[in-house]
Amino acid sequence: MEAERTLREEELTRLGELAAQLRVDAIRSSTRAGSGHPTSSLSAADLLAVLISRHLRYDWSYPGNRANDHLIFSKGHASPLLYAVFRAVGAISEQELMDTYRQSGSRLQGHPTPVLPWVDVATGSLGQGLPVGVGIALAGQYLDQLPYHVWVLCGDSEMAEGSIWEALDKAGHYGLRNLTAIVDVNRLGQRGATELEWDLDTYRRRVEAFGCQGIVVDGHDLVAVDEALGRARQATGPTVVLARTVKGKGVPEIENKPDWHGKALKPDMAERAVAALGGVRQIRVTAPPPEPVPAAGAPAPAEPPALPEYPKGEKVAIRNAYGDALRALGARRDVVALDGEVSDSTRADKFGEAYPDRFFEMFISEQQLVAAAVGLQVRGYRPFAATFAAFLSRAYDFIRMAAISQADIVLAGSHAGVEIGPDGPSQMGLEDLAAMRAVQGSTVLYPSDAVSCAALVAQLVDREGVSYLRTTRGKYPVLYDSGDVFPVGGSKLLRDGDDVTLIGAGVTVHNCLAAADELAREGIDSRVIDLYSVKPVDRQRLLDAVRATGGRLVVVEDHYPEGGLGSAVLESLADLAEPVRVSHLAVRGLPGSATPTQQMNQAGIGVDAIVRAARALG
């Protein structure tokens, strides 16, 4: 017993020294950079010292090891601590940490991004790391069925974010025993005290109400932290370690003071702080190894899916084609689907019925919907997440951050535009094309019929980045032959003419075709383009149309005028040294309830409005 107690004391001494090293390195790196968040790093240093030494099972020489645990810094502003951890485990050098942190061209950015192989996702927009962790944990428990654990360091300020509670709710619902949130409750946010300060009992009652086990601990008591993390690893459901800490811990000049958030210490103060902490250390941590697991077999060749076929002229809703194509893609074991409790409308239920083990219901939690998709793709899955186009706006920050994470996800937005009819404007996606086009590196598609929709869905499964597919609610005639090709970045020329060009996407393609028939009866020869790829856009097709029809273009979209199809067309022609006359028809007022045809007529995007616009350009 005496030997065990002595060994424990030696281990505690080593852990204390490691925590001091993490604090020192966080101070040194942020002072050298002249910016950063050292105080938010100091409060969590004891937590990380224990975690990386005794509980995080990770092969730092091989971040691709499929059995590695996952460590997510949801409080991404504490990057000085994360990078100090990377130095302690030998992943980066002291020189890289001290000389490149927050510098131009450095991979040690102000907030973590996956440019570092040990970072799964970009964090820093608070409230996002834990929801992504839920997605990774879902993959581990339900798909990979591997023993890795997901550890997420959260700040107490972000506990005010609704997305945190969406995450805890889904963690409890799915019983994610492989997920632990560690909340650094240091009481101070950016401008002062947090909402609950050190009311740990209220935090505990809240997390337990969401089906998670709450473990309250002194975050600077190394023995207590070790015991808490051990309990979390062995838990039968999701756990939340609520650690009472002190912001700026270890530096008396700034401990528990509210005006030090996001401020690097000046060199003289940093020198005193480092001295108070015992100086620079060179401790190297050997982490517990991940559990041995069978090697992953070679992935099966991705055979082209047997896409659904639709007779030309048959009326089919594009959302139905999305569901059919997604179900066909389910033949690939890496394809997963998620939905926001509207799968009977988005038609994602077709996948869920065929492949229930790879279908995850996120209920009415759109932020968690996108975050879970991001987490699943961390583990190599190809997620398709669907809801109404309008409701993706709730998750826009998650979509933006997915792009920063270089995540490969597909989002499908149904019930787009005024075409949905009497449900009214609260259900109409009228801003989605603009929002999705603005996402860095995104792909934005808006098919006009079932054949093109199915073909585009099949391409998105292997496309990099954030992809968005807009689907239409109503049934419209199939325009194309099964087997026709629809390259991303392309378009289709449905009618050839030399008087005026009518450009539509989705439902407005059908209006443009009907308008072309009416114009033909008047002797006006119309060219009709299905611009199904909104981003990237088919610039060459547009240039050909400008030259063929004397620069006369009518662009018609079931979307507000800002940022959608019209913007895509005009931006692509902005540097054209030729005269272009564009009539842009879009939804310019606030819709109400009406039938789909009435809605489009009232919005000025119906057949008659297109005919009038074409005449006016004559």
Strand, helix or coil for residue 501: strand
Strand, helix or coil for residue 335: strand
Burial 190-204 (b: 16+ CB within 10 A, else e): eeeebebebebeebb
Residue ranges of alpha helices (H) inside 119-251 are 129-138, 162-173, 200-209, 222-233
Contact present, 528 and 500 (Cβ < 8 Å): no
* Bridge partner list, 217: 243
Angle of the 507-521 helix axis to the 607-617 helix axis, nearest 10: 60
Strand, helix or coil for residue 542: helix
Amino acid at position 473, single letter? R
The sign of the dihedral angle between the CA atoms of 229, 232, 233, 239 is negative
Strand, helix or coil for residue 374: helix
| 103 burial via Cβ count (<10 Å: 0-12, 13-18, 19+) | exposed
Question: How many residues are present in the chain?
Answer: 618
Contact present, 70 and 134 (Cβ < 8 Å): no
Catalytic residue among 161, 166, 361, 366: 366
Element (H, E) at 475: strand 475-477
* 195 catalytically annotated: no
Calpha distance 46→53 (Å, rounded): 11
Element (H, E) at 180: strand 179-185
Contact present, 415 and 425 (Cβ < 8 Å): no
**Widest CA span in the chain:** 102
φ/ψ of residue 343, rounded to 5:
-65, -25
DSSP, res 391: G
Contact present, 45 and 16 (Cβ < 8 Å): no
Nearest to 556 by CA among 595, 498, 510: 510
Nearest to 583 by CA among 561, 602, 559: 561
User: For residues 439, 408, 134 and 405, what is the CA-based torsion angle, rounded to 10 degrees?
Assistant: -50
Calpha distance 312→569 (Å, rounded): 28
Catalytic residues: 366
